[in-house]
Amino acid sequence: MASSNTHEYGAEHAWDDVMARGKQHAQEAQWELALQAYTTAISLCSTLPSDTARRHRALKDLAYVNRCMGRYEPSLSILDELLPQLPTTDPLRLNITGELGVLYRQLNRLEEARDAFDEQYRLASQLNELQRMCRAVGNLGMVNSQLSQRDHDPELLDLATKQLQERVRLAQDLRNASAGDPTKASKYDYYTILKAIGLSRLSICYSAQGENDRAIATALEAVQLETEERPFNDSSVEAISRFSYGRALYRAGRHQEALEQFDLPKKCSPAVAFCKEPSTEHCEYLQELLDAGAEMDTPDEHGYHALDYAVFNGNDAAQHTIYIFLARRMARDSTANVSERFKQRLEEARLRKHYREIFQDQMRPILLGRKPDSLHRIRQTYASAIDKDIDLSKTFDALKLIKYTDFLAFNRFPRSSDGLTQTFNPSANDASTQHIVFISYRWVNPDPWARYPDNAENKQYHRILHALSEYLKINPSINPTNLAIWIDFACINQDDPMPGISALPFIIAQCDALISLVDEEYHSRAWCSVEVMMVQALREAYGVHQWFEDRDGEGGLRRGSGELRTEPGGKKLGVEGDRERSLVAIDFSPTLTLTLTPRLTLKITPNYSKDHPKAHSEDHSKDHRLLHF
């Protein structure tokens, strides 16, 4: 019994820790990290079967994060299942009804949203929960404002204005009560955000009533709540405050001042904020930005654009508005093929979405478990994802490999057409014992137009054999018959390379180890640097992957140094070109996002592999795929 109690106490402690991390991530708008924390918390609840309250709290927070990420249906499903389990007087219903109201509003189910917020407000009043009253009455004001515009009801607009005025008053009362108390600093900041949102919404009501001066003053007050000493910890709040202020200025004829509020470099712009939560109302605001001539393609602090978020959320109306903006801008370039360029941007955004869905949602939870079979399980997960989705199978190549014994017998560097390459089969008898090593190398063929990476002496082939021999010595438990390698020239289809190149982050994540064939030029190659950065991020985040260096002329393998911080920016590329574009981002770890400064554009011509010798020339072909890992 004592052992059981100790185990339960440990689980409770772990649950508290991971929930605290989730809350911190959510407060900083790091939604993917918060999602992972709350998912972990729910899994921990299985070791606390009698503690339903903890499970309910974790589910509530998970629904909130899903909603903030634009994943409305999963969020709604969680809340619909959770609400009937709670007594009518349970304080947790305050959060649940509020979340349901927000979801209904964003799904344009305004009457249901109003009913949910009304229930939240009544329950908060009964419990004398001023903070929840503040949120509920503000949300009621937002919904009634929308209904008033939809139904052309001035009385409802007056009600909305009064409700939002109450929201601002309650938020200020809460701020006053926590001001000057260092133990309540985070509460003070939260109440400041509540006030800023209330003021921004109130400004919109004043504009609808024709009170432009009052709308400008109210929105400016919201903007001025953020200071250098106390910035908003949710970038969307600043974006919406700036939009409300710019909107009021624009309606007063102060167009240039308004445009300055609509574009926020290196921050979350209004266009990005509205695409994050693409409700009907937000799509209307996007149209207002378009009509005003606002900039709508500025990336946020994570490198994502408004189009990315519109694609993440599957919002066709938002995508169409962004398309019109981009088409107008592209049309200024007389040589631009607007349709083709937008298609490329859309393709890049979908690639980002797939990275998020596969790695962050499916593979990362397994890696975080740090179990002995983690890599086998993520191989199974990846194979299943590719097999079930035709779009994914066209975009990303399956995990390919060459058995070590086949490579050894081949006596030279193999190409993808040589018949050695196999597709990983998760159902094979030896699948669970397979050990895969990623080989990172550079082309050494001195002929600049060569179609083969190795030189006449088969230098790289023999280096790979030597490195694998040393690797087997370091890992004597590995049976050579279970060892396989991934090497690009053989595992990426050289006649159709893009699916293999796009899959590179997933491939590295599925390999047990990466071996770098280091020579005097290895770290000068951008692709080699990217591969090193990826395995470093994986190794540091999860402790599952290994990285070794085989240094030319230095004998055995050595473990890659954690001190090495290689930067791909400015190094040799396959094709040199535009390094300014925001590209496909993949966040490899719960604590580390690979951000390349200056940004690295890997510009790949579709007919060539990443190290095709033609890539060594100064070819500036416009036909390319951009990858940002």
Given a cut of 80, is residue 313 above it in pLDDT? yes
Name which of 26-40, 129-143, 534-548 the model is least confident about. 26-40
Given a cut of 80, is residue 592 above it in pLDDT? no
- For residues 79 and 49, the answer to whether their CB atoms sit within 8 Å is no
DSSP character string of 514-525: EEEEE-TTGGGB
Look at residue 601 in the predicted model and tell me its pLDDT.
31
**Helix 212-224, helix 185-208: angle, nearest 10:** 160
List of E strands, 337-408: 400-403
- For residues 428 and 594, the answer to whether their CB atoms sit within 8 Å is no
Contacts for 196-199: CB closer than 8 Å, 24+ residues apart: 196/222, 196/225, 196/226, 196/232, 196/237, 196/241, 197/138, 197/222, 197/237, 197/240, 197/241, 198/134, 198/138, 198/141, 198/164, 198/167, 198/168, 198/171, 199/168, 199/225, 199/241, 199/244
The mean per-residue pLDDT over the stretch 279-298 comes to 93
Coil vs helix vs strand at 497: coil
The mean per-residue pLDDT over the stretch 545-573 comes to 73
- Cα–Cα distance for residue pair 296/314, rounded to 1 Å: 18
Look at residue 540 in the predicted model and tell me its pLDDT.
86
Look at residue 232 in the predicted model and tell me its pLDDT.
85
Residue with token string 């370091």? 474
Look at residue 342 in the predicted model and tell me its pLDDT.
84
| Dihedral, 406, 412, 415, 419 alpha carbons, nearest 10 | -30
> Which range is most confident: 1-15, 205-219, 600-614?
205-219
**Position 381, amino acid:** T
Tokens found for residue 325 = 């903006």
Q: Which of 521, 562, 516 is nearest to 539 (CA)?
A: 562
The mean per-residue pLDDT over the stretch 583-598 comes to 36
Look at residue 50 in the predicted model and tell me its pLDDT.
64
- Cα–Cα distance for residue pair 346/341, rounded to 1 Å: 9
- For residues 146 and 180, the answer to whether their CB atoms sit within 8 Å is no
The mean per-residue pLDDT over the stretch 261-290 comes to 89
Look at residue 102 in the predicted model and tell me its pLDDT.
87
Rounded to two decimals, what is the model's pTM? 0.71
Look at residue 235 in the predicted model and tell me its pLDDT.
86
The set of residues, in sequence order, having a beta carbon less than 8 Å from that of 321 and lying 6+ positions away, is: 283, 286, 287, 290, 296
Look at residue 572 in the predicted model and tell me its pLDDT.
52
Confidence band (pLDDT; 50, 70, 90) for 594? very low
The mean per-residue pLDDT over the stretch 197-201 comes to 96
Mean pLDDT score across all residues of the chain: 84
Q: In the chain, what percentage of residues exceed pLDDT 90?
A: 53
The mean per-residue pLDDT over the stretch 357-364 comes to 83
Given a cut of 90, is residue 610 above it in pLDDT? no
Look at residue 582 in the predicted model and tell me its pLDDT.
29
**Helix 185-208, helix 130-151: angle, nearest 10:** 20
The mean per-residue pLDDT over the stretch 307-320 comes to 90
- Cα–Cα distance for residue pair 101/111, rounded to 1 Å: 9
- Cα–Cα distance for residue pair 83/59, rounded to 1 Å: 11
If one compares 343 and 616, the residue with the highest pLDDT of the two is 343
From first CA to last CA, the distance across the chain in angstroms is 50
The domains located in the chain, with CATH, are: 266-336 (1.25.40), 351-627 (no CATH)
Q: Which of 87, 180, 179, 93 is nearest to 129 (CA)?
A: 93
Tokens found for residue 364 = 């990362």
Q: How many CB atoms lie within 10 A of CB 94?
A: 21
Q: How many CB atoms lie within 10 A of CB 478?
A: 17
Q: In what order do the strands lie in the sheet with 435-440?
A: 422-423, 400-403, 483-486, 435-440, 513-518, 546-551, 557-559
Q: Which of 386, 383, 395 is nearest to 350 (CA)?
A: 395
List, for residues 82-105, the tens digit of each pLDDT value. Answer: 988 888 878 888 889 999 998 898
Given a cut of 60, is residue 129 above it in pLDDT? yes
Name which of 14-23, 174-183, 591-600 the model is least confident about. 591-600
Look at residue 552 in the predicted model and tell me its pLDDT.
79
Look at residue 9 in the predicted model and tell me its pLDDT.
57
Confidence band (pLDDT; 50, 70, 90) for 1? very low
Look at residue 336 in the predicted model and tell me its pLDDT.
65
Confidence band (pLDDT; 50, 70, 90) for 614? very low
Dihedral sign, CA of 612, 618, 623, 624? positive
- For residues 469 and 391, the answer to whether their CB atoms sit within 8 Å is no
Residue 175 to residues 130, 186, 188, 594: CA-CA distances in angstroms?
11, 11, 5, 38
